[in-house]
Amino acid sequence: MKYSRLTKEQFEELHKEFINFLATQSITAEEWDNLKTNKPELAEIELDVFSDLIWEGALNKAKYLEHVSPQSIHLFALNDTHMHLIGIKIKNKEDLTTKEGFNWLRNNLMNDNVEFVQAKKDYSDDSHIDKFTLIKQGAVITKGELYKYMYKLIN
- Average pLDDT for residues 15-23, to the nearest whole number? 94
Whether residues 18 and 76 fall in one domain: no
- Average pLDDT for residues 133-150, to the nearest whole number? 96
The reported pLDDT for the residue numbered 155 is 87
- Average pLDDT for residues 9-28, to the nearest whole number? 93
Final residue of a domain: which of 61, 84, 101? 61
Whether residues 89 and 100 fall in one domain: yes
- Going from the C-alpha of 57 to that of each of 27, 50, 64, 118, 152, the distances in angstroms are 22, 11, 14, 28, 29
Whether residues 71 and 29 fall in one domain: no
pLDDT of 120 higher than 90: yes
Residue 68: partners with Cβ closer than 8 Å, 6 or more residues away: 74, 96, 97
pLDDT of 48 higher than 90: yes
pLDDT band at 80 (very low <50, low <70, confident <90, very high): very high
Residue 98's domain comprises 64-154
Question: Around Cβ 134, how many Cβ atoms within 10 Å?
Answer: 20
- Average pLDDT for residues 64-92, to the nearest whole number? 96
- Going from the C-alpha of 64 to that of each of 2, 18, 44, 117, the distances in angstroms are 21, 26, 31, 17
